[in-house]
Amino acid sequence: MNGALSTVTIVAALVLAAWYLLRAALDRAPSRFDLLAMAVFGALVTVLVVVAVVGLFDGSRPQETGTFAGYLITTVGFAPTALVLAKMEPTRWGNLILGIGCLILPVLVLRLQQIASVTGA
Amino acid sequence: MPDQSTPTASRPRDAALNTGVGRVLLLVYGVFALSASARALVQISTHFSEAPLAYLLSAFAGLVYLAATVGLARGGPRGRMLALISCTVELVGVLVVGVLSVVDAVAFPDDTVWSRFGSGYGYVPLVLPFIGLWWIWRHRA
């Protein structure tokens, strides 16, 4: 796992989460900007996952490769799923969906880092 | 918060799918159904013998979350009953397993969603059944 990229992703996720939760608290529906920001964030997460997948083929693999792969798939799919759900919900709850998505993603990235740090022979 | 449920012809009025808050609730329940079941699947398929009790419990928790998600989403008398039962089981489960995992750590060598009141999952498993039961209570007939 790329440490710097993971950190950037986690920080970006937390900043976005605070923004979306604030928007939801102010009773705003997701704006174009909100949705666009989530799309950009999703692209960042995709880059992280691609880097992690490339890392699987050169160097030490995590001991639990299956679990790692499962988390990678979940991680890459999460932002787009939240985006689609938020688009279907043009109320304050759409922003809450985006906010919760941005709170769960750092957990996924942390878990990926944990699993990646245990490398087997 | 205003309840802006717009019941459709095909769905019961109290189906969580109908409202924004309900959809958020379903998203969280869905994430937990997925993570608990996926975790159990990996644990049971790779190293079941290490901690059979904990892994079977993980699988059970996954099924309960799945049932709660479906029940809340569907609504109506049957969905309500399903959600009520599964949310209650969830609440009892997280409390009992939470206490047991603290008091008798030997029986739980590996974590489940409900261990230590769900501390590994940010205590969300402890809060979730209350929100689910609140939803059912608020939408009672």
pLDDT in tens, B73-124: 888 889 899 999 999 999 999 999 888 888 877 766 667 788 888 887 888 8
Binned at pLDDT 50, 70 and 90, residue A121 comes out as very low
Three state DSSP letters for B45-107: HHHHHHCHHHHHHHHHHHHHHHHHHHHHHHCHHHHHHHHHHHHHHHHHHHHHHHHHHHHCHHH
* pLDDT exceeds 90 at position A19: yes
Binned at pLDDT 50, 70 and 90, residue B1 comes out as very low
**Residues in CB range of A34: below 8 A, 6 or more apart:** A19, A20, A23, A86, A95, A98
Q: Between residues B54 and B70, which one has the greater pLDDT? A: B70
Supply the DSSP symbol for A60. P
Which range among A23-27, A31-35, B51-55, B65-69 shows the weakest confidence by mean pLDDT?
B51-55
List the single residue in A74, A93, A107 with the smallest CB-CB distance to B21.
A93
Q: What is the mean pLDDT of residues B1-25?
A: 70
Mean pLDDT of chain B: 83
Residue type, B94: V
Q: How many CB atoms lie within 10 A of CB B133?
A: 16
Residue of B nearest to A81 (CA): B27
Chain-centroid distance of CA B126 in Å reads: 9
Chosen CATH of A3-117 out of 2.20.25, 1.25.40, 1.20.120, 1.10.3470: 1.20.120
Binned at pLDDT 50, 70 and 90, residue B140 comes out as confident
Q: What is the mean pLDDT of residues B40-45?
A: 85
Residue with tokens 């808050």: B21
Compute the nearest-CA separation of B62 from chain A (Å): 16
SS3 A30: coil
Compute the nearest-CA separation of B3 from chain A (Å): 12
Do residues B123 and B113 touch, judged by C-beta distance below 8 A?
A: no
Chain A residues closer than 8 Å to B24 by CB:
93, 96-97, 100
Q: What is the mean pLDDT of residues A62-87?
A: 89
- The separation between the first and the last C-alpha atoms of chain A, rounded to the nearest angstrom, is 17
SS3 A64: coil
Confidence at residue A33, expressed as pLDDT on a 0 to 100 scale = 95
Transcribe B102-124 into DSSP letters: HH-GGG-SS--TTGGGGGGGTTH
For chain A, what percent of residues have pLDDT higher than 70? 98
Do residues B136 and B87 touch, judged by C-beta distance below 8 A?
A: yes
Residue type, A1: M
Q: Between residues B11 and A46, which one has the greater pLDDT? A: A46
Q: Domain map of chain B by residue range?
A: 19-138
Chain A residues closer than 8 Å to B23 by CB:
85, 88-89, 93, 97
Contact B20 A64 (CB under 8 A): no
Question: What is the ipTM for the molecules in this complex?
Answer: 0.75
Binned at pLDDT 50, 70 and 90, residue B9 comes out as low
Binned at pLDDT 50, 70 and 90, residue B141 comes out as low
* pLDDT exceeds 60 at position B5: no
Compute the nearest-CA separation of A67 from chain B (Å): 7
Contact B20 A92 (CB under 8 A): yes
- Give me Rg for the CA atoms of chain A: 15
